[in-house]
Amino acid sequence: MPQPEQTRLHRVYLADRYGDTLVITPRGDAAGFSATSVNTEMATISALAQEPAVKHLLVDLGKSNYFGSVILGSLVQLGHDVRKRGGRIGLCGASSDMQDVLRLMKLEQMWEMFPALSTGLSAVATIPLGERIWRRRGALAVVAAVILAGLLYAYLPRPDYARINYERLSKLWQETEDRRDTAGSEEWARLQKRMESELDSMLEDMLRRSKSTSSSPAERYLIFIVRDQWKPAMNRDNPDADLHRRLIQHYLRSAEALMEGRPLPKLPPLHTPSSPRSAETPPSGSPGSPRDRTSDAPPAGETGRGGNP
């Protein structure tokens, strides 16, 4: 239960109830407080100890290294009253110096000695389950928050990054194709610069996910497009630009097919005027050839379902 209301303003003796046990914590020697405070607060503590719900008494001496005769005398009398009613009394957390004083006073013959308050509570107090839960509410709230976060992570739908990046990439590609034949040199250069800026951030995000289990096979195609095909496809001086354009279109369709669960499309003929090739694979020496990036190319296990890298 919470701290007794009548002791909330106490400065000398702090009090708390743990089930059937009253815990008193003196904050220091009486010399540091007024005589009125010491006597008034002890009277309140004595009244609490007489309540029927209180069976045992523990005194926590851990707040100070030394307590004088006034404090110890009042606590000894309080313990005597509790013990006379059949309750257990204990002293907890006494310093080494204080233990010598207690031995000289032969208090260990009447009081149980515990190294810490928690030890005394475990040995003496009977605390109802509801009170135990209430006292641990802070720790339980943290555990509950962690469990809730785990459940939300497990069951809430995650963003479909492959779909998001596919739609973004398709839009950029459509813009590029629409302006390919109409844009002048300066306008095309500005478009290239803007595209590179957008694609660099997209690529960084996709590569980061590709190193974890959150990357999808469809995103592997998008990585291949952005990293290996886009720049040569936008280079107007590149004789193989059309090859890379066809590869981009093919891998966009492949990514879409994977996301929608359709069969992968066949790889179209890829020969170019500068270097005629078969219709099955891109030139092995061309920028962005799947053979140049085997570690990050789309999954090899899908080859044969449509001429993928």
Q: pLDDT (tens digit, 9 = 90+) per residue, 58-93?
A: 999 988 888 888 888 889 999 999 999 999 999 999
Residue 113: is its pLDDT beyond 60?
A: yes
What is the C-alpha separation between 113 and 149, in angstroms, rounded? 44
306, burial (CB in 10 Å: exposed 0-12, middle 13-18, buried 19+): middle
DSSP code per residue over 212-256: STT--HHHHHHHHIIIIIHHHHH-TT-TTHHHHHHHHHHHHHHHH
Q: Report CA Rg, the chain.
A: 39
Closest C-alpha to 241, from 252, 249, 251, 231 = 231
Please say whether the beta carbons of 274 and 239 come within 8 A. yes
Residue 212: is its pLDDT beyond 80?
A: no
Residue 197: is its pLDDT beyond 60?
A: yes
Q: Residue 167 — very low, low, confident or very high, per pLDDT cuts 50/70/90?
A: very high
Q: Residue 138 — very low, low, confident or very high, per pLDDT cuts 50/70/90?
A: confident
pTM score over 0.85 = no
Q: What domains can you pick out in the chain, each with its CATH number?
A: 5-125 (3.30.750.24), 161-302 (no CATH)
Residue 294: is its pLDDT beyond 50?
A: no
Please say whether the beta carbons of 164 and 255 come within 8 A. no
Sheet holding 112-114, edge to edge: 13-18, 21-26, 56-60, 89-92, 112-114
What is the C-alpha separation between 66 and 78, in angstroms, rounded? 19
Residue with tokens 């596919």: 166
Q: Residue 287 — very low, low, confident or very high, per pLDDT cuts 50/70/90?
A: very low
pLDDT digits (tens, 9 = 90+) for 16-61: 999 999 999 988 777 677 888 888 998 998 999 999 999 999 999 9
Local structure of residue 277 (DSSP, 8 states): -
What pLDDT does residue 302 have?
44
Residue 309: is its pLDDT beyond 50?
A: no
